[in-house]
Amino acid sequence: MSRARTAAFLGMSLDGCIAGPQDELDWLGRQGGPPEDHGFEPFLAGVDLVLMGRRTWDVVRAFPSWPYGEKPVAVLTHRPGEARHGERFLAGEPAEVLQRLEAGGARRIYLDGGAVVSQFLAAGLLDELTISVLPVVLGAGIRLFQETGPERWLQLREHRAWPSGLVQLRYAAPDRSLGR
Amino acid sequence: MSRARTAAFLGMSLDGCIAGPQDELDWLGRQGGPPEDHGFEPFLAGVDLVLMGRRTWDVVRAFPSWPYGEKPVAVLTHRPGEARHGERFLAGEPAEVLQRLEAGGARRIYLDGGAVVSQFLAAGLLDELTISVLPVVLGAGIRLFQETGPERWLQLREHRAWPSGLVQLRYAAPDRSLGR
């Protein structure tokens, strides 16, 4: 059996940030104009587990509403917390974590947050990456790409712009993707 | 008379780098496939002066061929060097530099290099920005966006993808552009 596939879906500023310096996300909705559907719902519907880092979990669980619906969620951390949405906590290197999630039946895994995405990319275990580039230079913030290891080329699969000026870019690792 | 307009035209990795850690630019041509025309020549033809920082000048003057043709070139530095292509050297804050270049007759100015682009962006004096996003995560390097000041929103004017997976995004500061 081939290994499970991994995909990320993130908003990013032109200067590479996914959040402000204090994890602020309000800028993601600041440009005004009518609401736009950037495809998060079908993306989420296409995965069977969400894996995120501790920092992302800390930010997301403070949201007024939990964005992952009923999807199983795993948090990569050495400091387990109080699960309010059935989250499980685990720690380990990407390859080992992936094997454990596969053993639990996960076949398509949504990686959320800069740390986890960067770790899996560095390990050669990020298969698909959708980045929505907002037309803003934040000036400071949390970067999507952190310790990503050696130079890594991806394949552009799709690009699309919205009236707000958001450009969504979908990449796959060579010969890997969720097969959508 | 309205002030001169400024525009930048750069290649950038997905992780926001315009060069490797040692100013390497070889990755810009590393993806293979047939050569592509990303529009640099018409861009260059549309400006009447090139302004760059000292670091960019040090990199570019080591190229086998000078990429700016007969265009006047100004280098922003406190350490003038030996001009081999008629470069002039000047120092100062963006607004002051812009005024001096305007006084010399420049109306459309090409800003090259991360430092100068970032300084002019921070000063609210970058009018147009064309970024060619290559489908690569470099892992380390010189970032395009450095000290860029407060959050700044741009307007997307154009987006286009090439077979190599390069996506070119053209932005303008609100209500500013070269008028092309």
Which tens digit of pLDDT belongs to each residue from B45-103? 999 999 999 999 999 999 999 999 999 999 999 999 999 999 999 999 999 999 999 99
Question: Which residues in chain B have Cβ-Cβ distances shorter than 8 Å to A31?
Answer: 153
Please state, in angstroms and rounded to a whole number, the distance separating the CA atoms of residues B35 and B65.
18
Q: Quick one: tokens of A129?
A: 């990456």
CA distances (Å), B154 to each of A10, A101, A118, B175, in order? 19, 41, 27, 9
pLDDT for residue B1: 59
Question: Which residues in chain B have Cβ-Cβ distances shorter than 8 Å to A133?
Answer: 133, 169
Pair A172, A157: CB distance under 8 Å:
yes
pLDDT for residue A88: 96
Pair B170, B156: CB distance under 8 Å:
yes
Enter the ipTM: 0.94
pLDDT for residue A180: 41
Nearest chain A residue to B162 by CA: give it. Answer: A156
| CB within 8 Å: A151 and B15 | no
Lowest average pLDDT, out of A90-94, B28-32, B37-41, B119-123, goes to B28-32
Q: In this structure, is the dihedral angle defined by the CA atoms of residues A43, A44, A47 and A51, taken in order, positive or negative?
A: positive
Q: Give the mean pLDDT of B12-17.
A: 98
pLDDT for residue B180: 41
pLDDT for residue B112: 98
pLDDT for residue A33: 86
The residues on A that touch B, with CB distances below 8 Å, are: 14-16, 27, 30-31, 121, 131, 133, 135-139, 143-145, 148-156, 159, 161, 165-167, 169, 171
Q: What is the pLDDT along chain A (180 residues), one digit of tens a residue?
A: 578 999 999 999 999 999 999 999 999 988 878 999 999 999 999 999 999 999 999 999 999 999 999 999 999 999 999 999 999 999 999 999 999 999 999 999 999 999 999 999 999 999 999 999 999 999 999 999 998 889 999 999 999 999 999 999 999 998 665 544
Per-residue b/e over B82-105, b at no fewer than 16 CB within 10 Å?
Answer: eeeeebebeeeebeebbeebbeee
Q: Quick one: tokens of A83?
A: 């699960």
Question: Which residues in chain B have Cβ-Cβ distances shorter than 8 Å to A151?
Answer: 27, 136-139
Q: Give the mean pLDDT of B138-157.
A: 95
| CB within 8 Å: A151 and B138 | yes
Q: What is the DSSP letter of B26?
A: G
Pair B31, B165: CB distance under 8 Å:
yes
Q: Quick one: tokens of B167?
A: 């996506």
pLDDT for residue A177: 53
B159-172 pLDDT per residue, tens: 999 999 999 999 99
B93-132 pLDDT per residue, tens: 999 999 999 999 999 999 999 999 999 999 999 999 999 9
Domain residue extents for chain B? 5-172
Q: The pTM is what?
A: 0.94
Using CB atoms, pick whichever of A16, A153, A165 lies closest to residue B15. Answer: A16
Which of A13, A26, A153 best probes binding to B when mutated, by most B CB atoms within 10 angstroms? A153
Which of B24, B137, B152, B169 best probes binding to A when mutated, by most A CB atoms within 10 angstroms? B137
Using CB atoms, pick whichever of B131, B154, B165 lies closest to residue A155. Answer: B165
pLDDT for residue B168: 98
Fold for the domain defined by A5-172: Dihydrofolate Reductase, subunit A (3.40.430)
Listed residue (B21, A103, B20) closest to B29, CA to CA: B20
Residue located via tokens 């780098």: B17
Residue located via tokens 């750069």: B10
Pair B137, A114: CB distance under 8 Å:
no
Pair B93, B73: CB distance under 8 Å:
no
Question: Which residues in chain B have Cβ-Cβ distances shorter than 8 Å to A148?
Answer: 15, 137, 139
| CB within 8 Å: B154 and A138 | no
